[in-house]
Structure 1
Amino acid sequence: MANIVVDTFVKGGPVMWPILVTSLTAASVVAERAIWWIGTGAKRESKRLEQVYAALEQGDLEKASRQARDTKDPVLQVVWHGLNHHHTSLQNALQVSAGVQIESAGRFLGVLDTIITLAPLLGLLGTVTGIMEAFRFVGSEDLQAIKVSGGVAEALIATSAGLAIAIFTLIPYNYFSSRVAKLTFEIQTAATNVEVLLEAGKKNREANRNTNSIPAHEAALSHSS
Structure 2
Amino acid sequence: MFSIIQAAGWPIWPLLLCSVVALALIIERLSSLRTSRVLPPRLLDDVMSVSLQQLPAPDMVDRLAENSLLGEVLASGLRAVSAEPQMPEAKLRTVFEFAGRRAVHQMDRYMNTLGTIATAAPLLGLMGTVVGMIEIFGSQGPTGNNPAQLAHGISIALYNTAFGLMIAIPALMFHRYFRGRIEEYVLELEAAADRLMGQLRRFTI
Normalised to the residue count of structure 1, the TM-score between the two structures is: 0.77
Match of 2:69 in 1: 74
1:156 is displaced (CA, Å) by 0.6
Matches within 5 A, 1:86-97: 86=81, 87=84, 88=87, 89-97=91-99
Structure 2 alignment gaps of length 5 or more? none
1:32 and 2:25 correspond: no
Instruction: Name the counterpart of 1:182.
Output: 184
Distance (whole Å) between structure 2 residues aligned to residue 183 and residue 24 of structure 1: 28
Q: Does 2:167 match 1:165?
A: yes
- Summarize deviations over 1:1-38 as a string: whole Å, max 9, x none: xxxx1111111121111111111111111122222234
Match of 2:42 among 39, 47, 51: 47
Alpha carbons 2:15, 2:163 under 8 Å: kept: yes
1:214 alignment counterpart: none
| Equivalent of residue 112 in structure 1, options 111, 114, 117 | 114
Number of aligned residues: 196
Equivalence map 1:194-205=2 (5 Å)? 194-199=196-201, 201=202
Instruction: From the two aligned structures, give the one with the greater helix fraction.
Output: 1
Which letter maps to 2:129? T
In the TM superposition, residue 128 of structure 1 has moved relative to its aligned partner by 0.5
Name the counterpart of 1:62: 55
Structure having greater relative contact order (Cα 8 Å, sep ≥ 6): 2
Q: CA RMSD in A?
A: 2.6
Cα offset for 1:119? 0.5
Unaligned runs of 5+ in 1: 204-225
1:52, 1:185 → 2: CA distance?
Answer: 19
Amino acid at match of 1:76: G
Which letter does structure 2 place at the counterpart of 1:82?
A: G
Contact 1:112 1:173 in 2 (8 A): yes
1:158 Cα deviation from its structure 2 partner:
0.5
Residue 150 of structure 1 corresponds to which residue in structure 2?
152
Q: 2:143 aligns with which of 134, 141, 144?
A: 141
Matched, 1:123 2:125: yes
Per-residue CA distance 1:156-197 (angstroms, 9 max, x = gap): 100000110001212222222222112111111112212333
Of 13, 16, 32, the match for 1:17: 13
Are the equivalent residues in 1 in contact too, given 2:11–2:127 (CA < 8 A)?
yes
Q: CA deviation at 1:61?
A: 4.2
User: Take 2:172 and 2:147, find their aligned partners in 1: how far apart are those partners?
Assistant: 37
Percent identical residues: 26
